[in-house]
Amino acid sequence: MSSYQIKNLEEYYQVYRKSVRDPENFWAEIAEEHFVWRKPWDKVLDWDFSKPEVKWFEGAQLNITENCIDRHLATQADKTAIIFEPNDPKEKAQHISYQQLHEKVCAFSNVLKDQGIKKGDRVCIYLPMIPELAVSILACARIGAIHSVVFAGFSSTAIASRINDCECNMVITSDGSFRGTKKIDLKGIVDEALESTPTIKSVLVVKRTEVPINMKEGRDHWVQPLLDKASMDCPIEIMNAEDPLFILYTSGSTGKPKGMMHTTAGYMVYSAYTFKNVFQYKVGDVYWCTADIGWITGHSYIVYGPLANGATTLMFEGVPNFPDFSRFWEIIEKHKVNQFYTAPTAIRALAKEKLDYVENHDLSSLKVLGTVGEPINEEAWHWYNDNVGKKKSPIVDTWWQTETGGIMISPIPYCTPTIPTYATLPLPGIQPALMDEQGKELKGNQVDGRLCIKFPWPGMARTIWGDHKRYKDTYFTAFENKYFTGDGALRDTVGYYRITGRVDDVIIVSGHNLGTAPIEDAINEHPAVAESAIVGFPHDVKGNALYGYVILKETGESRMHDNLRKEINQIITEHIGPIAKLDKIQFTEGLPKTRSGKIMRRILRKIACNETDSLGDTSTLLNPEVVQEIIDNKL
């Protein structure tokens, strides 16, 4: 029995049981039948969560781009691999066939090699959602360089810290990017970052906006003339199964961003298998994920997962409200999109607009709708189901993380009955556990606890770049021999999972994972600020918004406060990016602290959420009197 694409609920349960009973054979069969290898593995799995160490398909050799591109050339060279839909609908969409993708990736690989990039080197990619972003990722993978994509909305400080953390040798960027009516000077931002990145030797620049930029002699090169001269043939680098494929940074609840390191074979098998099942992709379908490739969603479900399955994947450069709020629906109609994958925050924003935007478009091509990044509330779920899916396209609420590499808990459309707000069932190979705070596993149904995973899966990150101890401390220490996700979840009477949200100091804003500590660190750099604390509060579009409590060194006059608020958000924009800006900033005399000096964010969160009647016992605080002051001055 081939279990590659599950067809009904009964088959799901069968396959799931097999994946738990015999995980090694389960994954080995999938890996053997559906991928090309240059050398088979010696051992399917080697693992020890106490170290933690996880190795999948050890001894095997392969190249992921051979799996994503070359192997499709014999059967579907002319099939569209990537549809590129530009920011401006007046600009023509591009259809890049598998043959053309092969040529582009080979040429780019040769340019990288000419610039001295070799296996194991780290390359930072800071590009908008244009085909060169996918091409440069694949070019790195083809020659064995490790890509580190930095979302093109991040600031120069954020780029510099990511470049320095993994010591990249090269940056690939563009003159600029288009976002709606705006042009953004990406190269200028990179130039600023490169003032403090000693390891960068060269910069490749893609032309997009044609806005004049500075090119530093000897360091910066326009990529097109180099591509024009490059050969369109480039042999693959033979990679070991556990060779690093990429690094992608994600916020932690403390400290600097964590460079999650994913490796080659396991990630490939997992992203491809989950893509095929969760979207029920069929030959000829057009699939569209609206995420940016700068996030894990784009890595796994715009580039690697779809291409490994020979799919047609759509890349959209623009934003949902340009030229107007019908853009998503217009694109679905224009390209006859069959699977559409987006974020709850986008759904909530679009649901606020006139229904005409949706209704004036033919969305009958849609077969599967997906959401990712944060819990989807019931209202948004129904709006999506009624108006976009017309009650005939199942919604897959997919729960996963940068760390997991691929979707972990999700319905399989046309198999798993869906319920709003439930991510439903674990995918084959995934063994969730709910834990109580004492570290005991909660068995059976109708329980609520901390979500852990108790057995390895091929797509999991193997370490934090340069800091294995932090990897262990963050994910493998809270619960013995289990991967701790940082999320809370409940399991209902039939065994369906519902994710209840973060249980640590990470706040999900518009589907972006933001740690409180880096934001507080940025604010504290303001010369007038003594201390600060950030919490989340509910927001009808963003899911959560940020509320900052700030202690000033000197109490200013209130008319100065608005200026300070602007300056604080400016500092955050510079250090992290505009996504981390605070919606509300309350100046306060003190912050509630425990006797050991730790800020009690729980209390601040309740105040920000207007839940002051359930603050609990505050008498054990070091400074209980500040609580009333904060409540009285709440914004």
Restricting to residues 227-266, which ones interact with ligand WT7 according to CB under 6 A? 250
Q: What is the DSSP letter of 300?
A: I
Residue whose structure tokens are 């705070």: 437
499, 571, 580, 591: which one binds ligand WT7 (CB under 6 A):
499
Please tell me the count of residues contacting ligand WT7 according to CB under 6 A.
Answer: 22
Binding mask 522-561 for ligand WT7 (x = CB under 6 A): ----------------------------------------
| C-beta of 177 vs 297, nearer to ligand WT7 | 297
CA atoms within 13 A on the CB side of 606: 15
412 DSSP 8-state letter: P
In angstroms, how far is CA 610 from the centroid of its own chain?
Answer: 31
Pick 409 or 585: Cβ nearer ligand WT7: 409
End-to-end CA distance of the chain: 61
With a CB cutoff of 8 Å and minimum separation 6, the contacts of 581 are 546, 569, 572, 573
> Which residue type sits at 209?
T
Q: Is 416 in the site for ligand WT7 (CB under 6 A)?
A: no
Nearer Cβ to ligand WT7 (263/398) = 398
The answer to whether residues 358 and 388 touch, using CB atoms and an 8 Å cutoff, is: yes
* Nearest distance in Å: CB 407, ligand WT7: 8
CB atoms closer than 10 angstroms to residue 251: 23
Q: Which is nearer to ligand WT7, 310 or 370 (CB)?
A: 370
Of positions 351, 372, 568, 604, contacts ligand WT7 by CB under 6 A: 372
Under the binding rule (CB under 6 A), the answer on residue 375 touching ligand WT7 is yes
CB of 228 to ligand WT7, least distance (A): 37
Pick between residue 401 and residue 569 the one whose CB is nearest to ligand WT7: 401
- Measured in degrees and rounded to the nearest 5, phi and psi for residue 454 equal -105, 0
Question: Cβ(542)–Cβ(345) under 8 Å?
Answer: yes
CB of 365 to ligand WT7, least distance (A): 24
Of 252, 373, 456, 548, the one binding ligand WT7 (CB under 6 A) is: 373
Which of positions 417-436 make contact with ligand WT7 (CB under 6 A)?
423
Q: Which residues contact 565 (CB under 8 A, 6 or more apart)?
A: 582, 585
CA angle 593, 598, 603 (to 5 degrees): 50
Residue 186 tokens read as 């990406």
Residue 588: C-alpha distances to residues 547, 561, 630 (Å): 13, 11, 7
Which of 258, 335, 502, 542 is the binder for ligand WT7 (CB under 6 A)? 502
List, in sequence order, every beta strand (DSSP E) within 271-345: 286-289, 312-316, 339-342
281 or 475: CB nearest ligand WT7? 475
Within 293-352, the residues that bind ligand WT7 by CB under 6 A are 295-297
Q: How far is the CB of 398 from ligand WT7 (least distance, A)?
A: 5
d(CA 420, CA 369): 13
Over the window 380 to 409, marking each residue x when it contacts ligand WT7 by CB under 6 A and - when it does not, the resulting string is -----------------xxxxxx-------
Nearer to ligand WT7, 174 or 300 (CB): 300
Q: Which residues contact 203 (CB under 8 A, 6 or more apart)?
A: 170, 171, 172, 173, 190, 194, 216, 219, 220, 221
Q: Decide: helix, strand or coil at residue 184.
A: strand
Q: Tell the smallest beta-carbon distance from residue 538 to ligand WT7 (Å).
A: 14
> Which range of residues in 162-170, 195-203, 479-487, 531-539 is near ligand WT7 by CB under 6 A?
479-487
Query: Which of 481-489, 519-527, 590-598, 626-634 is the region at the interface with ligand WT7 (rule: CB under 6 A)?
Result: 481-489
DSSP secondary structure code for residue 498 in this structure: E
Q: How far is CA 201 from CA 38, 123, 140, 170, 406, in A?
A: 33, 11, 16, 6, 33
Instruction: Write down the least CB distance from residue 499 to ligand WT7, Å.
Output: 4
Q: How far is the CB of 456 from ligand WT7 (least distance, A)?
A: 18
Q: Which residues bind ligand WT7 (CB under 6 A)?
A: 250, 295-297, 372-375, 397-402, 423, 485-487, 499, 502, 508, 513
